[in-house]
């Protein structure tokens, strides 16, 4: 089967660092994606990992371990505008489509 | 930037009605997808298409059909709407053959079936 797991909700303080974890079990793997979705808006692409290791892009970083079926999204210097849902998705070549996790709703408090 | 446009932001229909959700993308993408998004369940794939007149079932195709007569347009059809089809519907497109085939999403259609 195919399954992606993420925490449902997280809360953090403005200026802090938060790590959102994602574990996956999929038939086939061709990359892991993180998307950000503000309430009432479309998801937008944040990051992509296909090899093990850390990808850094400004305040956001994403890590992948294929052997462990594990990824995390790291958000530094949190801002109020980072309050959103963060979606983990795996591109599964065997299934020829993306499998999405349930999303993690992050609330950034002042 | 890629633009994916969904024809309606909000839609209210009655049980048994035939419903058309339209999606148009302007970047000549080969791949187009229809998802529904429900709280706690994430995005679930209904149908996708990799080429004109081509369609493939996703994870939850029951009660839905699709049409792709032109490359830029992908339509989702609810043949006879039911209350359990009340949901947010998201259309997406991606470029075939890209090293990271990220999805570009439309703004979504919130469908309520009464």
Quick check: B100 pLDDT over 60? yes
* 3-class state of residue A37 by DSSP: strand
Give the A:B interface size as CB pairs under 8 Å.
50
Q: Enumerate the residues of chain B whose CB falls inside 8 A of the CB of residue A34.
A: none
DSSP string spanning B3-71? -EEES-SEEEE-TT--EEE-EEESS--SEEEEEEEETTTEEEEEEEESSTT--EE-S--TTEEEEEEET
pLDDT at position B97: 62
Mean pLDDT for all residues in chain A: 92
Structure tokens at B93: 């497109």
Separation in Å, CA of B98 to nearest CA in chain A: 12
From B4, B43, B107, residue closest to A100, measured CB to CB: B43
Say whether residue B42 is in contact with chain A using an 8 A CB cutoff. Answer: yes
> What average pLDDT does this structure show over B84-102?
84
Question: What digits encode the pLDDT tens for the residues B1-56?
Answer: 668 999 889 999 999 999 999 999 998 999 999 999 998 888 999 999 988 999 99
pLDDT at position B98: 58
From A33, A42, A101, residue closest to B42, measured CB to CB: A101
Structure tokens at A58: 């400004």
Separation in Å, CA of A110 to nearest CA in chain B: 26
DSSP string spanning A12-41? EETT--EEEEEEEE-SS-S-EEEEEE-TTS
Quick check: B57 pLDDT over 80? yes
CA distance A106 to A18: 9
CA distance B40 to A104: 9
Question: What digits encode the pLDDT tens for the residues A63-74?
Answer: 999 999 999 999
> What average pLDDT does this structure show over B76-86?
97
Q: Count H helices, E strands: chain A?
A: 0, 11
Quick check: B95 pLDDT over 60? yes
The residue ranges of chain A whose pLDDT is under 50 are none
CA distance B18 to B113: 11
CA distance A108 to A102: 19
pLDDT at position A8: 93
Mean pLDDT for all residues in chain B: 92
């Amino acid at each position: 089967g195919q399954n992606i797991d993420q925490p449902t909700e997280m809360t953090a303080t403005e200026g802090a660092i938060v790590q959102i974890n994602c574990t996956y079990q999929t038939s086939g793997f061709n990359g892991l994606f993180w998307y950000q979705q503000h309430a009432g808006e479309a998801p937008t692409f944040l990051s992509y990992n296909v090899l093990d290791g850390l990808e850094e892009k400004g305040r956001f970083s994403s890590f992948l371990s294929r052997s462990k079926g594990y990824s995390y999204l790291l958000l530094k210097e949190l801002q109020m505008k980072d309050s959103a849902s963060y979606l983990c998705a795996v591109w599964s070549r065997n299934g020829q489509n993306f499998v999405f996790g349930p999303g993690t709703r992050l609330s950034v408090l002042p | 930037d890629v633009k994916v446009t969904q024809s309606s932001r909000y839609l209210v229909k009655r049980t048994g009605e035939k419903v058309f959700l339209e999606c148009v993308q302007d970047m000549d993408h080969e791949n187009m997808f229809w998802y529904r998004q429900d709280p706690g369940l994430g995005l679930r794939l209904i149908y996708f298409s990799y080429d004109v007149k081509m369609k493939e079932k996703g994870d939850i195709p029951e009660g839905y059909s699709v049409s792709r007569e032109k490359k830029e347009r992908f339509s989702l059809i609810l043949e006879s709407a039911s209350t359990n089809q009340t949901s947010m519907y998201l259309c997406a497109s991606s470029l075939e053959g890209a090293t990271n085939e990220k999805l570009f999403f439309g703004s979504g259609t919130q469908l309520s079936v009464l």
